[in-house]
Amino acid sequence: MIARSLEYRIDLVTALLSKELRVRYKRTVLGYAWSLLNPLAMACIYFVLVTKIFAVSIDKYPLVLVAGLFPWQWIANSVLASSMIFVGNAGLIRRTSFPRAVLVLSASLNDMIHFLASVPVIIGVMLWHGVYPDARWLLFFPVLLLIQWAIVVGIGFVLASCNVFLRDLERLVAIGVTIWFYLTPVIYTRDMLGRHSDLLKLNPVTGVVLAWRSLFMGAPIDLAMLGWSVLWAIVILPCGYFLYRKMQWRFAELV
Amino acid sequence: MSEAPAIRFTNVTKQYASRALSHVGAKGLVTRFPEFVKRAKHPVFVALRDVSFEIKRGECFAVIGLNGAGKSTTLALIARVMRPTLGTIETRGHICPLLELGAGFHPDLTGRENILLNGVLLGMTKREVRQKSGMILDFAGLGAFIDEPLRTYSAGMTARLGFSVAVHLDPDILLIDEILAVGDVTFQAKCIDRIGEFRRRGVTFVIVSHDTQMVRTSCDRAMLLYGGSVHMNDEANKVADEYLRLVGAAAVVPQVPGGSRQTEPKPAAEVATLQA
């Protein structure tokens, strides 16, 4: 019975995931290109803005941008999608009793797969700058995926559940994600903040975003900073799941 | 084969918090905090009031009543998508809700892909859906359309697909919320066949319907809900008569006395459904 229940839950997540992926890639032949275009366009804009207009010179800035924007894209898209996911699937939630948590899980996996699909582009930019993937990837790639996924899912549970009760939350989330973007070292580096850089520890994703960048740039990973992200993940994921468990019985009557 | 009922409601009351609450939103939480707390504390809508009934295994049971009488709430409570505020609900066996047109389907996926998605959402593992997909495809009888995206389907074809998945779930209890009227004559005949087969196998049916003719011909017993309470629970024909009497009365006097509902029932719409 337990084996069947586990198999069923895995099937639920993968069925929802393959739905999302199929829909994304079916609608347009350019599906894959579209998912790359947004972060690449942002990278171009910030490159021109910072190096030409503000005339700040940062070493390997195109790589800095690409190595930060793609992981960020996963965070931002998952958090935005999660906040609307229970309300958006109202028809299903009102009528069937499947575990609603799988919706949040599949949304975050969906964006994780898009991130993985964009890695060849990041590698392309790396090679252009003469940086090569190294042996650390074998260890850190899965570890960073796991940490970031845990944070994203934890936040997703909180926002998805609360949005059922406070419908305008999703609007606040959209604004919040934009602010959060500038509070995360995506378009700038940590040392540009000087003595204020310790404040970045309060941002759950700083450690993991910086670690991705270091990994893609062949630079040493700041393990202390990554530790803060791990700590945040350990706090956020159980708290988010607990909140969801507390609230999920009311979803069907409120969505 | 046991004597225990398939479904038993004991003194079930279901109250809803004001739906308006969620629409006050985060803005309201900040700007109108006292009102927000007051609303959160006092549920304002009583959908079911002290409802008790039993449905025997293998029975075909209809739930009828005016709009807002608590029919859909009853189904949702049986399907366990909600918890009762008071009272207990016992069910035996695998419950399958027959989804409303299109719920759980995605318009951009093909019929075949939707069968897999829908089957999994309704409680089957992928392996189980694949084992049955031959039978499901056969039953749906959609021909070459099965590999076309669902948005190219007519409403009837979508309903056929949904029904085909649901009847292959091996349910012990099948919940049907007014959708059997779709599909052409051949498909309806197939559905009636299938329902007959289910009944021989001892599957329990709970049907929400406004179609008194269908209730008379297909159901053994019926329950008439009125303002969230059980008005009558008896043999299907008698309950259908009482329902028609009630609808006639409601059509003359639109106000329902003693109801604590915010939304009044719409008798005119009910009569229209009956005539259709």
- The reply to whether A5 touches chain B by the CB within 8 Å rule is no
User: What ipTM goes with this model?
Assistant: 0.81
Domain containing residue B41: CATH number:
3.40.50
B102 within a domain of the structure (yes/no): no
- Mean predicted lDDT score pLDDT of chain B: 80
Closest CA–CA distance from residue A112 to any residue of chain B (Å): 21
Compute the average pLDDT of residues A125-140: 95
Residue A165 has pLDDT above 50, yes or no: yes
Burial of B264 (0-12, 13-18, 19+ CB in 10 A): middle
B142 within a domain of the structure (yes/no): yes
B15-32 pLDDT tens trace: 887 655 556 667 777 777
A174-229 pLDDT tens trace: 999 999 999 999 999 988 888 888 889 999 999 999 999 999 999 999 999 999 99
In the stretch 94-133 of chain A, residues with CB closer than 8 A to chain B read: 94-98
Compute the average pLDDT of residues B139-145: 88
B99 within a domain of the structure (yes/no): no
Q: Do A12 and B29 touch (CB under 8 A)?
A: no
**pLDDT reported for residue B24:** 64
Would you place residue B176 in the very low, low, confident or very high pLDDT band (cuts 50, 70, 90)? Answer: confident
- The reply to whether A21 touches chain B by the CB within 8 Å rule is no
**pLDDT reported for residue A182:** 95
Residue A170 has pLDDT above 80, yes or no: yes
Set of chain A residues whose Cβ sits within 8 Å of the Cβ of B103? 91-92, 95
The CA distance from B193 to B188, in Å, is 9
Compute the average pLDDT of residues B69-96: 90
Enclosing domain of residue B146: 108-166
Set of chain B residues whose Cβ sits within 8 Å of the Cβ of A97? 79-81, 95
B245 within a domain of the structure (yes/no): yes
Name the 3-class secondary structure at A134. Answer: coil
Tokens of B58: 């293998």
Q: Using an 8 Å Cβ cutoff, are A88 and A189 in contact?
A: no
**pLDDT reported for residue B272:** 38
Residue A124 has pLDDT above 90, yes or no: yes
Would you place residue B239 in the very low, low, confident or very high pLDDT band (cuts 50, 70, 90)? Answer: very high
Q: Domain count of chain B?
A: 2
Token look-up 């009837």 returns: B156
H helices present in chain B, as ranges:
20-31, 33-41, 71-78, 111-121, 126-140, 155-167, 185-200, 212-218, 236-252, 267-275
B263 within a domain of the structure (yes/no): yes
Instruction: Determine the residue of chain B that is closest to A10 in CA distance.
Output: B125
Compute the average pLDDT of residues B207-220: 86
Would you place residue A34 in the very low, low, confident or very high pLDDT band (cuts 50, 70, 90)? Answer: confident
Residue A19 has pLDDT above 70, yes or no: yes
Tokens of B173: 């209890």
Which residues have a Cβ under 8 Å from the Cβ of A137 and sit 6 or more positions away?
A215
Would you place residue B122 in the very low, low, confident or very high pLDDT band (cuts 50, 70, 90)? Answer: confident
Would you place residue B96 in the very low, low, confident or very high pLDDT band (cuts 50, 70, 90)? Answer: confident
Of B108, B120, B126, the CB nearest to A26: B108
The closest of B105, B102, B100 to B116, measured between CA atoms, is B105
Q: Do A253 and B25 touch (CB under 8 A)?
A: no
Tokens of A156: 């997703």
B174 within a domain of the structure (yes/no): no
Cα Dmax for chain A: 64
- For chain B, how are helix, strand and coil distributed in percent, rounded to 5? 45, 20, 30
